Structure 1
Amino acid sequence: MALTAQAQALLEMVYRVGAPRFHELSVAQARHSFDKLQFVFGGDAESVASTMEVPMTRADGSALLARLYRPLEAGSAQALPLVIYFHGGGWCVGSVQSHDVLCRQLANRSGCAVLSVDYRLAPEHPFPAAVEDALFAVEWAWENASLLTVDPLRMALAGDSAGGTLSIVAALMCRDRGPVRLRFLCLIYPCTEIVSNRPSRETYGSGYFLDRESLAWFFERYLPGGNTDDWRASPLKAGSFANLPPLLVVTAECDPLGDDGIALGERVRSDGGTVEHLGVDGMVHGFITLGKWFPEAHDVVDRISERLRQRLGGAADAV
C-alpha cells in the first residue's frame, strides 16, 4: 500500500516549503521544530480527572520529573493500574509537554493512570543517561505506588520511537533485577537496532519524514562514543527475550524503523513470548502524536487502550 492521502499531503507540504530537516538544525532549533509540529498537528488536550507534577528524588538529592494523569472515570481514592510512558524524539528532542495530548488520551481511554517521564536528553546527557532514568522511574513508581495511588501489581510500560526503545530496555532490566513485575509492554515504532540493513531502512530512508540523515543526527548525539553494539542502545542485541510480559508492537508501513520493530517482535516470540503486531498501512514515523492530521492516530490509541484494559483493567475495575 502507498502512503495515505493525508500522509502524502503532509510530506508534500514539508518538502515543498523547504522546511529544514532535523540534521540541518541545531539541537535547540530541532527541539523547537519538534514541539511546533506537535502543537500544530497534535490536536486539543482532553480533560482528565487530574494531573500532578511528580518529582522522583534520587539518592544524590536530584530529581527526575514526571507528570501523572488520572482518567476522568477514576475516583480520587482508587488505586489505578499504571502505564509508565516514555516520549519519543530520538533521545534528543521531545518532552512531557510534547506528548501531553497523547498521554491524556491514553489515560481516559484505557482507564489507567499514566506517568509520563521527562528523562534526560542528549547531547547534554548522552547514553546511557536516558536508560538510567527509565529504569529509575520504573523502580521508583513500584516502590512509591501508594503515593501515586496506583496498583504496583498492574503496571505497564509504553513509549513511541526512542521511548519504545527505553520501554523494552527497562523491561529487560527489570526482568533481570527484580522485584518489579510488569504486566504489559507497548512499543510504538521503536528503534531496536542502531545499525540495521533491513529493507525498510533503505526503502523509506529518504522522503518519508524520518530521513536517514536525521537518523544519523540523532544517533551521533545519543551515542557520541559510537558503541552501537550495547544492547541497551540496540535491544535486538540482548541475549534473551524470555520471560517478558505480553507485548504489543506498533509499526508504520512507511517508516525506516519498521522492519526493526517487526524483527524485535519475532525475537520475543521465538523466545516464548506473547506478541501482537499492529502494522498501520500508509503511515510514516511519528504519526501517533499527530492526531489532528491523521485519523489513524486515534484508531491506534483506541487499540492500545483496549489492550491496556484487557491486560491491566481500568478504573472501573480498580479497588
Structure 2
Amino acid sequence: MPFADRQRSQLNWVVRKVLSYFAAPRLNMREDYEKVRRRQRQLAVLPHPSYRALDVEIMSADGDHPIPVRVFHPRERQRDEVLLFFHGGGWVTGDIESYTPACATMADLTGCVVASVDYRLAPEHPFPAGLEDCLRVAELFLADPTRAGAEPDDEVILIGDSAGGNLTAAVSLALRERGEPGARRQIMLYPVTHWDHDPSTSPFASVRNHGDDYRLTNTEVQDYFDLYVPDRAERAQPLVAPLMAEDLSGQPDTLIITAELDLLCDEGEAYGSALEAAGNVVRVHRVNGALHGFIALPRFSRSLREAYEHINAFLDGREEHAASATAAETT
C-alpha cells in the first residue's frame, strides 16, 4: 500500500502543550475575515527573499472580470513542469500577495515555474465563483503553457494547499465532467475533502483529536463553509466535498501530503484511498508532528523540507523513492 502509516506518532503531553500555543487565534471568521485579510496583507509586505515574478491577468469565461495570476520563476530552473497553484485560506482569506513567500520557495525548491491564481473569495463571491476562476485558468494554461512563460510542450501540474487542495480536486473533477483534457498529475497539501467538521458527527478521528488544540480549529472550518457555501444542502456535492463523489475514475496521478496534527489529516488520506479504489495512481505521505499550513514555514523547517522531498520525488516519477519512504514510515 502506497499510503502513510495509519499509526500516529507518539508525542508527549509537554510537546503537545507547546504546539497548542501555535494554534490560530480563536476568531469568529464569519465576522473577522476582513481583519484576517488585513493582517495577511501587512505580513506580506515584510522583507522576504528576492524572487523573479511576472503578473498576468486572465479574463473570466464570461468576460466579467480579470483573474490575476502571479508567475514565479526559480533561481535555477531544473524541471520543465509548471505548477499551477491554488492557495489556501478557507476560500475566504489568502491571495497572491500573502502567498508570495510560499510560492517563491516552491519555485526554488522544485526548480519549476509556479503560477499562483488569485481567485475570487467568499463571502463576497461564494461558491462556485472561486472554483470557476481556478477552472478558467486551468483550462487555458493546460491548453497553452506559454501563458505562464513556459514552453508549449511543458506539463502543467495542479497543486494547492488546504482550501486550494480542495479546489485542485474540484478542478480535476469538473474538467472530467466537461469532457475536457485535464492535468496528468496533481498535488494536494492537507486538502479539505469532506463537508462535515463537527466533532460530534464527523466520520474522522482527526477532527475530534485535533480540532481544538492546534493551527486550525473545527469552528474555523465550519465558519469558512458558512461563508463559502451558505446553503448547507450544497455542501455534500463533489465540487465542494470531493470525497462525496460517486465516481472518482479518470483522475490525474495524485500526490497527497497530510499533516499529522491537523484536523484535515484523515479526510485527506481518505481521499487518497478513494482515488486509488477508483483505479487512479496515488501516493499519500503524512508529515508526522506537522501542523496545518506548514507550506508557509521558513525554508529550514523540517516539515517543509520533508514535504518537498516527496513533491520532488513525485515530479521526477521516482517510484523507488516512494516505496522506500513508505516502508520506512510503516516500521
Name the TM tier (shorter chain): 0.7 to 0.9
1:28 aligns with 2:34: yes
Q: Which residue of 1 aligns with 2:243?
A: 236
CA deviations 1:257-289 (Å, max 9, x no partner) are 111101100000001111111101112211221
1:174 maps to amino acid:
L
SS of equivalent residue, structure 1 residue 282: coil
**Rounded Cα–Cα distance in structure 2 between residues aligned with 1:216 and 1:87:** 19
Give the stretch that moved more between structures: 195-204 or 86-95: 195-204
**Rounded Cα–Cα distance in structure 1 between residues aligned with 2:127 and 2:48:** 32
**Rounded Cα–Cα distance in structure 1 between residues aligned with 2:164 and 2:125:** 16
Q: Which residue of 1 aligns with 2:174?
A: 173
Pick aligned residue for 2:73 from 59, 64, 70: 70
Superposition pairs of residues 70-89 of structure 1, within 5 angstroms: 70-74=73-77, 80-89=80-89
**Rounded Cα–Cα distance in structure 1 between residues aligned with 2:267 and 2:120:** 25
Superposition pairs of residues 102-181 of structure 1, within 5 angstroms: 102-150=102-150, 151=152, 154-181=155-182
Pick aligned residue for 1:258 from 261, 265, 269: 265
Q: Which residue of 2 aligns with 1:275?
A: 282
- Cα RMSD after superposing both structures: 2.7
C-alpha displacement of 1:308:
2.1
**Rounded Cα–Cα distance in structure 2 between residues aligned with 1:51 and 1:6:** 39
Give structure 1 stretches of 5+ with no counterpart. Answer: 312-319
C-alpha displacement of 1:191:
0.5
Q: Which has the higher contact order (CA 8 A, sep 6+)?
A: 1
Change (3 A) 1:310 1:109: farther
1:249 aligns with 2:256: yes
Report how many aligned residue pairs link the two structures: 301
Instruction: Work out whether residues 83 and 155 of structure 1, in 8 Å CA contact, stay in contact via their aligned partners in 2.
Output: yes
1:9 aligns with 2:18: yes
Relative to the length of structure 1, the TM-score reads: 0.85
**Rounded Cα–Cα distance in structure 2 between residues aligned with 1:145 and 1:88:** 23
C-alpha displacement of 1:133:
0.9
SS of equivalent residue, structure 2 residue 295: helix
Higher share of residues assigned strand: 1
CA deviations 1:220-257 (Å, max 9, x no partner) are 00111112121111111112121222111111111111
